[in-house]
Structure 1
Amino acid sequence: MTNAKPTPITKSQHKPHLYEIDLMRLLFICGVLLNHTINEFTGSMASSTALPYYMVESIRLIFHFTRMGFLFMSGLVLMLNYYHRNDWGTFMKKRYKGSIWPYLIWNFIFLSITTLMGSSGFNLHDFSMSYLSYVIHGNQSYMYFMLIIMQLYLLFPGIVWLFRKLEGHHNQILAVSFLVQLAMMFFIKFYMRNVDTSTWLYWFKSYSINVFVYQFYFIAGAYTSLYHENVYAFVKRHIRPIAIVTATLSLGTIVYFRIWNEKILGLSEGLSDTPHQPYMFLYDTCMIVVIFYVGKRYASWRQKGMPGWLDRMIQRFAKVSFGMYLNQIVGLTLLKIGLSHLAVSDLTLMLLIPVGYLFVLGYSFTLAWFCYKIWPLGIFVGRPQKINPFKRRRTEALVLNEKTSRSK
């Protein structure tokens, strides 16, 4: 792949809407919710050694590319919008306005739900301390992703500076980033598990919230934004071997998890199914490439005339995918409550996973779309409405009255 000079997009130009990103958002949020739905079902199973639990857990790694996919898209979209801009004050204001408030709100909602469902009574001091811990650590209700994204916003001006400074050497940036990421995965998998990290700072020992652990996905997304058509042309030429390798790696996660990690290395289940492993890094990267290709095919199909209802559905899911991630805890909590009242076998629970998944997916979308459409609830899904409809109607009424008065 050659290093063609990126085409600048200035403020006066209309930035192209990449419809492939819409489908990618849909696929990634569907994968995220599937992973978390499976967590609820396996957590409700009576035995962690019986066949149903073993079968479900064995395929878990296949779906562990979704987090990395969202981070790849973050790098792509941010670079598309800001590579040729320098208004970083506006950037920070806009990005944190759409992330900090939802982060604070949903941590509060989750803690409130937990408190209401708990057996102990409400204590303001304990509630406040728990809330502070939730916000600082991002370790509840899958809010770690928000901490990663907010760290990315701080680093993004530096990423842009790096690509500008090394104009003409972007392939080298991507290659170095890849090697650093691979080395980091080896370090985490084979070194950190043998080290006492109890005295380390939380940001280092809980590396899942450390933005640098995901640096390649941001860099790859930024690179893809700058050389979008070149990347697609390369992927299109080689899609057959890429798809074969990806499918092989996908099925290989079962052997990797159960045989290599658990039997040979003797790792615990928690360490065996983490995405922070060299094998998973290669698999995640391949999956992102394949989904990028599928997204481009969707964009092409859309231009040639795909069914309108299908296109509208994809567009709507894409528009509120971030909100679905934020509000997923509501649907997952309702699912957990429902499962706690079921007296069925583990095999039945396994067979009910698709039903539970459709419930969580549908509920999360409905809630996100409702918040997106109804003022002032947009802030709950990271899309605060700019205009108060009541103020707008009052303003329109005043303007109409003024015009009427002038006409008399």
Structure 2
Amino acid sequence: MSGDSPALHPERSAAAEDSVAASDTAAKPRSSQRHLYEIDVLRILTFVCVIGVHTTSHTAGPDDVGLYMLLDLMHFTREVFFALTAFVLVYSFLARPVPMRKFWPKRFLLVGVPYVAWSAIYVVAGYLHHPTGSVGDLVLKFVVTTLTGSAWYHLYFLLVTMQVYLLVPVIVWLVRRTRGKHWLLLLGALAVQAGLMAWYHYGQSSYSWYGDWAKQIVFTYSFFVIAGAVAADHAAQFLTWVRTHRALIGWLVLASAAIMLGMYWVEVLVGHHSFYGAGTPMQPVMILWGVAVGIGFLAIGTWWADRRKAGSVTARVVDLASDRSFGIFLSHPMVIWILLWVGDDWLERTVPTPWLTLVTYVLVIIGAVLITEVARRTPLSLALTGRRYKARPRGAQSGGPGAATQAPRVGSPADGSVTEPAPHDGSPVSSKA
């Protein structure tokens, strides 16, 4: 799980910053933004599916066709999250430009520190469970897997997210330069992603370097990154369209789901893939489904945002879930691992399928929430949850969701703010793959 991180040349950074800043001034960017509660709901719903993907892929039996069809429908998550990341980044940047010399250090601190910390945790945990090699071998494994995003099956997403951060000046430049012709930009990005996915799924890429590193390379998700950025440039019109076409979007989601399931059975019956292999996220049809379900979740988000009552229990719960989601994402595979393997397969031997999937899902959410809540109250909060630790004032309520009703702080990667994207895993890839 690695990828070539597309780095910008250091000697060009200053020029790029000056160019972006000058363009921002000329464009008279928006000076204020409301919090997009629509995005909170989109993030939470997609995150729910991330946990669903990982629990299902680890608990489905070889003949659980229904679970594998469900897994196929949940494999959109990486695409939607990369679109979400690009949307929030560009939307925020257009309103409040930040020089790259300030943007990059802050972003890499809030994402890079948890990435390195959890890479170490997962590598050490694996070693403790099955000790092999020397301490030197363990250190080497940590270095290699951290550089390649392969310390655990979900951490590559952060590696790709950091590639997106590196490319922010290029993405913003492309969006500005192609205004009035964004359809051409989208078409080009679609051709790149569809071509790469077709090569991966139908070609011989599985026997080449791309087959090994496909999911760790940002260009594999070109269309969704560009689509999110373009949507941010047309945010007002885009969200208005979603609000006024919810019924149509619902029908489009159903039609796309039918196409997805139809292609699933084509892969099984004609392509002779396994029930699991037929639902791989790395296939061109996933682009259609990712767009449909992403907009569908956003439509639900607009419905919620239009009816949200500040200070209500539901509003506080949604705010808290969005706030905690990055930490839960980072830790939930550890809970899966402990439940299914460290415990000598006790859960699998006790609970039959398909109930095993449901029970595991609930236990994983509970365990990951507990880990995140504890971590948020310690100086290790930044490393374990991506959020800076803030000591609670004496007398403040502990653990209540009321704190989430405050305006999100800029610089928190896991908040729901439009000014800072929350990195979440879109990857449903199981360690079984």
In the other structure, the counterpart of 1:384 is 388
In the other structure, the counterpart of 2:313 is 309
Instruction: Tell me the CA shift for residue 204 of structure 1.
Output: 6.3
Q: TM-score scaled to structure 1, two decimals?
A: 0.82
Q: Secondary structure at the match of 1:98?
A: helix
Give CA deviations for 1:54-77 in whole Å, capped at 9, x if unaligned. Answer: 332232111111121111110111
Distance 2:122 2:143 in 1: 13
Structure 1 residue runs of 5 or longer lacking an equivalent are 1-5, 391-408
In the other structure, the counterpart of 1:152 is 164
In the other structure, the counterpart of 1:362 is 366
Distance 1:234 1:290 in 2: 12
In the other structure, the counterpart of 2:231 is 224
Would you say the 8 A contact 1:327–1:364 is kept in 2?
Answer: yes
Structure 2 residue runs of 5 or longer lacking an equivalent are 1-25, 394-433
Would you say the 8 A contact 2:55–2:336 is kept in 1?
Answer: yes
Instruction: Tell me the CA shift for residue 370 of structure 1.
Output: 2.8
In the other structure, the counterpart of 2:427 is none
In the other structure, the counterpart of 1:244 is 251
Instruction: Tell me the CA shift for residue 270 of structure 1.
Output: 5.7
In the other structure, the counterpart of 1:395 is none
Q: Secondary structure at the match of 2:354?
A: helix
Distance 1:122 1:229 in 2: 56
Instruction: Tell me the CA shift for residue 27 of structure 1.
Output: 0.8
Distance 2:291 2:157 in 1: 18
Q: 1:293-372 alignment to 2 at 5 Å?
A: 293-302=299-308, 305=309, 308-336=312-340, 337-338=342-343, 340-342=345-347, 344=349, 348-372=352-376
Q: CA separation of 1:183/1:389 partners in 2, compared to 1, >3 Å: closer, same or farther?
A: same
Asked if residue 14 in structure 1 is aligned to residue 32 in structure 2, the reply is yes
Would you say the 8 A contact 2:85–2:228 is kept in 1?
Answer: yes
In the other structure, the counterpart of 2:272 is 266
Q: Secondary structure at the match of 1:206?
A: helix
Instruction: Tell me the CA shift for residue 334 of structure 1.
Output: 2.3
Instruction: Tell me the CA shift for residue 268 of structure 1.
Output: 4.7
Asked if residue 127 in structure 1 is aligned to residue 138 in structure 2, the reply is yes
Instruction: Tell me the CA shift for residue 306 of structure 1.
Output: 7.4
Distance 2:344 2:74 in 1: 22
Would you say the 8 A contact 1:107–1:135 is kept in 2?
Answer: yes
Instruction: Tell me the CA shift for residue 320 of structure 1.
Output: 1.8
Distance 2:250 2:379 in 1: 44
Would you say the 8 A contact 1:185–1:281 is kept in 2?
Answer: no
| One-letter amino acid of the counterpart of residue 165, structure 1 | R
Give the % identical residues: 23
Q: CA separation of 1:343/1:293 partners in 2, compared to 1, >3 Å: closer, same or farther?
A: closer
Asked if residue 71 in structure 1 is aligned to residue 82 in structure 2, the reply is yes
Distance 2:266 2:145 in 1: 35
Q: CA separation of 1:215/1:162 partners in 2, compared to 1, >3 Å: closer, same or farther?
A: same
Distance 2:192 2:318 in 1: 35
In the other structure, the counterpart of 1:402 is none
Q: Secondary structure at the match of 1:64?
A: coil
Would you say the 8 A contact 2:110–2:382 is kept in 1?
Answer: no
Asked if residue 185 in structure 1 is aligned to residue 197 in structure 2, the reply is yes
Q: Mean Cα displacement is larger for which, 143-152 or 125-134?
A: 125-134
Instruction: Tell me the CA shift for residue 111 of structure 1.
Output: 1.2
Q: CA separation of 1:339/1:239 partners in 2, compared to 1, >3 Å: closer, same or farther?
A: farther
1:287 alignment partner, one of 290, 293, 310: 293
2:54 alignment partner, one of 29, 36, 45: 36
Instruction: Tell me the CA shift for residue 152 of structure 1.
Output: 0.8
Q: Mean Cα displacement is larger for which, 172-181 or 17-26?
A: 172-181
Q: CA separation of 1:196/1:343 partners in 2, compared to 1, >3 Å: closer, same or farther?
A: closer
Give CA deviations for 1:305-331 in whole Å, capped at 9, x if unaligned. Answer: 378111111101101211111111221
Q: Secondary structure at the match of 1:349?
A: coil
| One-letter amino acid of the counterpart of residue 208, structure 1 | K
In the other structure, the counterpart of 1:27 is 45
Asked if residue 161 in structure 1 is aligned to residue 173 in structure 2, the reply is yes
2:214 alignment partner, one of 199, 204, 207: 207
What is the number of equivalent residue pairs in this alignment?
Answer: 365
Distance 2:239 2:32 in 1: 21
In the other structure, the counterpart of 2:72 is 61
1:253 alignment partner, one of 256, 260, 266: 260
Would you say the 8 A contact 1:181–1:216 is kept in 2?
Answer: yes
Instruction: Tell me the CA shift for residue 260 of structure 1.
Output: 0.8
1:143 alignment partner, one of 130, 144, 155: 155
In the other structure, the counterpart of 1:400 is none
In the other structure, the counterpart of 1:114 is 126
Would you say the 8 A contact 1:110–1:141 is kept in 2?
Answer: no
Would you say the 8 A contact 1:62–1:250 is kept in 2?
Answer: yes
| One-letter amino acid of the counterpart of residue 191, structure 1 | G
| One-letter amino acid of the counterpart of residue 50, structure 2 | V
